[in-house]
């Protein structure tokens, strides 16, 4: 499992929380994704996968460096 430093900003915390997702859930999915793709609208990477509680999330982020992730937003999806 890779290790990342998450660079949380006030804006990114707000965007994630607006969708009822915690910082811990976001980090859980990005650290251990079931899959990855790229956002068609922003071009940013997206990690998706299930949390330990069974929620399936899409987590959008920017890669600042090989080991630094800046969260952008996240949302829950149907399986």
pLDDT of residue 79: 66
Is 29 domain-assigned? yes
Q: Cβ-count burial of 30 within 10 angstroms (0-12 exposed, 13-18 middle, 19+ buried)? A: buried
pLDDT at site 4: 87
Total domain count, the chain: 1
Q: Give domain status of residue 74, yes or no.
A: no
- Structural domain span for residue 20: 5-67
**Is 78 inside a domain boundary?**
no
pLDDT digits (tens, 9 = 90+) for 9-67: 999 999 999 999 999 999 999 999 999 999 999 899 999 999 999 999 999 999 999 89
* Separation of alpha carbons 66 and 75, rounded Å: 24
The verdict on residue 73 lying in a domain is no
Q: What's residue 16's pLDDT?
A: 96
DSSP annotation of 72 reads E
Cα–Cα distance, 10 to 77 (Å, whole number): 24
Residue 31 lies in a domain: yes
Is the CB of residue 57 less than 8 Å from the CB of residue 26?
Answer: yes
Task: Express each pLDDT in 60-77 by its tens digit.
Answer: 999 999 899 999 999 999
């Amino acid at each position: 499992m890779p290790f990342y430093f998450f660079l949380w900003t006030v804006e990114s915390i707000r965007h994630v929380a607006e969708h009822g997702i915690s910082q811990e859930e976001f980090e859980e999915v990005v650290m251990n994704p079931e899959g990855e793709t790229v956002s068609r609208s922003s071009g940013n990477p997206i990690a998706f996968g299930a949390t330990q509680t069974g929620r399936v999330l899409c987590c959008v982020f920017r890669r600042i460096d090989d080991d630094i992730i800046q969260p952008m937003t996240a949302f829950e999806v149907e399986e």
